[in-house]
Structure 1
Amino acid sequence: MTAETIAAPRTPANAPRKKGSNLEKWGWMYMRISGVLLVVLIFGHLLVNLVLGQGVRQIDFAFVAGKYATPFWQWWDVLMLWLAFIHGANGMRTIIADYVTRASVRKTLTALVWVAAGILIILGTLVVFTFDPCPAGAAKDLLPSFCPAS
């Protein structure tokens, strides 16, 4: 009796092995690694914003301005933003690949997901790094009370 190997389901009998990087493997690994990092980042975010200090009552414009005055919290939030959007876009890509049968529609939807994620990542990053609670030349009645010009 000879031992035979069973081919993977839906694999053509003589399918050639693809050369190059395996994007599905890297996407799978990204989802696991980013998921663990996101758990740490999100629970740290919730701990600082909702548990420590005065809890949810402390969150106002001044609280956010104080957090974004330090590079640590800027990078914390940007890392959380980037990981979450890429994680979500990769998940949507997987869902599209599983359920959309027409190749042209699948490619179009996948491109739209990545374009939307890219635009939102860029806008979110700009908001975090260009946030200025006391812009120069603003009317005094529009500035918050903690700004030196008010």
Structure 2
Amino acid sequence: MSTIIEAPRTPRERSSKGRVNWEKWGWLYMRLSGVLLLILIFGHLFVNLVLGEGIKEIDFAFVAGKYATPFWQWWDVVMLWLAMIHGSNGMRTIVNDYASHRTVRRVLLIGIAAAAIILIVLGTLVVFTFDPCNTFIPADQALTFCPVN
């Protein structure tokens, strides 16, 4: 009995034409989002820790000042979305590799997707609805730019 092994560069026959190769797009996303995350994270760390007085300067007022500008809101939201989807896709890959039972795999994948969606929605809401002058802060603890009620 002989087995013929085709050359490594031989194009594969497509068994299902017109279908999207999700694994290929997931693989590409991991590479591209990883590069973007490196830029976003190191930019975030540089602005927060290197510029100014470093970690001593980071407090509630610092965050309030950053989130007062749309640039930093979008920077953090893009970083959140990329990181959550990147991490969820990595966890999906691990589950697909190690969970052999179909039902267990499905439950784990649904749990990962649900956690990612909930955290993305909550994180996005926090960034875009952040109000440093909410009415729950006592007047003696309010920031200097907040009107006292």
What's the offset of the Cα at 1:144?
A: 2.8
Deviation string for 1:54-75 (max 9, x for gaps)? 0111100000000000000000
Query: Which sections of structure 2, spanning at least 5 residues, go unmatched?
Result: none
Alignment of 1:17-56 (within 5 A): 17-19=15-17, 20-56=19-55
TM-score normalised to structure 1 length: 0.86
Number of positions where the alignment pairs a residue of Structure 1 with one of Structure 2 = 141
Change (3 A) 1:58 1:137: closer
Deviation string for 1:20-65 (max 9, x for gaps)? 0000000000000000000000000000000011011110000000
Superposition RMSD in Å: 2.1
In structure 2, how many angstroms separate the alpha carbons of the residues matched to 1:47 and 1:59?
13
In structure 2, how many angstroms separate the alpha carbons of the residues matched to 1:59 and 1:16?
55
Deviation string for 1:112-138 (max 9, x for gaps)? 101100000000000000000012585
What's the offset of the Cα at 1:142?
A: 4.6
In structure 2, how many angstroms separate the alpha carbons of the residues matched to 1:120 and 1:137?
24
What's the offset of the Cα at 1:5?
A: 3.6
SS of 1:119's equivalent? helix
TM-score normalised to structure 2 length: 0.87
Deviation string for 1:71-126 (max 9, x for gaps)? 00000000000000000000000000000001111111011101100000000000
SS of 2:42's equivalent? helix
Identity among equivalent pairs (%): 63
The AA in structure 1 aligned to 2:30 is: M
In structure 2, how many angstroms separate the alpha carbons of the residues matched to 1:27 and 1:40?
20
Q: Which residue of 2 aligns with 1:120?
A: 119
